[in-house]
Every structure is written in structure tokens, then in C-alpha cells.
Amino acid sequence: MNTPAGLKLAVAGKGGVGKTSLTAWLGQHLAGLGMDVWLVDADTSLSLGAACGLAPGDIPAPLASREDLVRARIGSGLMSLTPLVDDLPGELSVRLPREPGHGQRRLLVMGGVDCGGGGCACAASALLKAVLSHMVLGCREAVLVDLEAGVEHLGRGTVEHVDGLVVVSEPSLRSLSTAAEVGRMATELGLTRQVLALNRCADRPALPDLPGLPLLGAVIPPLAGLTRRQLTDGSVLDLEEGGLLDALCGELLGAFHSGPAGP
């Protein structure tokens, strides 16, 4: 497929279904095509850095926890709705190891906050949304955003410029029901370009008829290499199944152009 250099994708799904792993695989796939890639960890679990092979001490503190930046850019009383954030991705990100001939991958850890609390949480959320909007609207490089199960980080102004949403699910009714709900919420925001990635699935099954469930774009089988590694290493990269994963990432991205395959 002809993947645009400035591709912007969000990845969402129920917790534990493998969306962070898929984000890391997609980042490595795009870098292998020679693209520079921003990997944005917008999930409260903050595991994208480990999935990309970084040691705990090399993973930057999440932007949501930086009260100094929140106060400086948003304010502690009357909040600024248009904070200056252009410099933050470069200052707060870390470079991931770069293979010869590959594009550069950078990790930006945003984290998540609960806006049901006080003003501080809402100010932090406003800053996160401003940074995400800048990444989607202002970056020439590819951007992959590892979201929480919902799509709350994606406001209407931002979602219009996202090229697509990858919804990750396991082959279970509960997981697929969450995927359908994510797809429905994204559609209400105007993000209709969606594909489903079915993880840890041995074959291409007939899916239940759930309103909002995206069409199936790729099926990722159980990975023996990942299973053997998980107890001793957080990285999901450079597995023995790397060739298969690279091909599946290409298939998934191609689904946005050719139309996802049916179940």
C-alpha cells in the first residue's frame, strides 16, 4: 500500500486486548518503511514505553503528572483554552533505538486523568487534549496514539484530522461489545474510518452482529514467541514472528484504503 508519511492513527480497545502491543508493532512497521514516527502513550496504564523495549528509567514522566507545566500552560484559575504546546513534544519525548535504514521513532508519554475531580485534573486534561491536537494537526511525521478504551481524548476538532481508528479486540463477546461501543462513540464524533484488529485469534471467525463494530481488517494469531517472553521482558518487538507481524500491520493499514475485509 502507499502509506502517507503524515499518517495519523488512534488505537483503542478494552484493557488487556493488546492495543499497546499493536501500537508498538505498527510503529516499528512504519519506521521500517522509512517513516519518522511519533508514538503517543495516552493510556493510564503507561506501558507503551516498556512495550517498545525501554527500561523503566528511560521512560519519561507522563505529561499529566507535570503540575508545573499544567500551571504554566493552562493556569490555576481561569484556564487558557489555547495554550502554547508546540515545544512540548520535542522537549518531553525520548528517541527509541533506530535501526539502519529505518525512520526515527519517538515516544511521548501523556498519561490520562480523571476529570471528575477538581480543577487540577480538568486543567491537566485540557493540556493533554491541546498536545494531542497539535500532534495530529501540526506534525508532518506519522503519529500513532495509544488511547484508553474510550475516545475521550479525541475532541471533535482533533478527530476530523485523524486518518483512522484501529479498534483492537479479542475473540470474545465482552471484548467485541467494548469494541462496538468504541466504534459507536468514534462514529458520533465523526471518525467513521475504522478497522477492527482481532488479536489472539487462531482463524478468521464469523463475528456477532453488534451495532458499531468496525469491519474486520486483520487477525493476529496467538504468538508463541511473545508468550515465552512476557514473564521476563516487557518488550513486544523483535519477536520470532516479526515477519508475520510486519505483514499483518501492512494488511491492517491497507484496510483503510481498500475497505476492511468482512469477517
pLDDT, tens digit, 9 for 90 and up, residues 126-178: 888 888 888 888 899 999 999 887 676 666 656 667 899 999 999 999 999 99
Q: Does residue 122 sit within a domain?
A: yes
What element of type H or E holds 194? strand 194-199
Q: Do the Cβ atoms of 196 and 167 come closer than 8 Å?
A: yes
How far is Cα 162 from Cα 156, in angstroms, rounded to an integer? 10
In whole numbers, what is the pLDDT of the chain averaged over residues? 88
The percentage of the chain sitting over the pLDDT mark of 90, rounded to a whole number, equals: 62
Q: Do the Cβ atoms of 149 and 179 come closer than 8 Å?
A: no
Q: Does residue 2 sit within a domain?
A: no
| Domain assignment of residue 159, given as a range | 8-258
Residues 6 or more apart in contact with residue 24 via CB below 8 angstroms: 39, 48, 51, 52, 236, 237
How does pLDDT run across 104-120, given as a tens digit for each residue?
999 999 886 544 333 45
Higher pLDDT, 261 or 123: 123
State residue 164 phi and psi, 5-degree precision: 180, 165
> Which residues are bridge partners to 93 per DSSP?
none
Query: How many C-beta atoms surround the C-beta of residue 81 within 10 A?
Result: 9
How does pLDDT run across 22-46, given as a tens digit for each residue?
999 999 999 999 999 999 998 888 9
Helix, strand, or coil here: 24? helix
Closest CA to 162 of 142, 188, 182: 142
Positive or negative, the CA dihedral 212, 214, 215, 218 is negative
How far is Cα 198 from Cα 222, in angstroms, rounded to an integer? 11
Q: Does residue 1 sit within a domain?
A: no
- Across the range 219-234, mean pLDDT stands at 95
Residues 6 or more apart in contact with residue 179 via CB below 8 angstroms: 13, 14, 167, 168, 169, 196, 210, 213, 214
How far is Cα 239 from Cα 234, in angstroms, rounded to an integer? 12
Q: Does residue 263 sit within a domain?
A: no
Q: Does residue 50 sit within a domain?
A: yes
Higher pLDDT, 45 or 238: 238
Q: Cell numbers at residue 6, please?
A: 503524515
| Domains contained in the chain, number | 1
Q: Does residue 187 sit within a domain?
A: yes
Q: Does residue 215 sit within a domain?
A: yes
Closest CA to 135 of 114, 119, 155: 155
CA within 13 Å, CB half, 69: 21
pLDDT at residue 77 tops 70? no
Q: Does residue 164 sit within a domain?
A: yes
Question: Which amino acid is present at 143?
Answer: V
User: What is the CATH classification number for the domain harbouring 36?
Assistant: 3.40.50.300
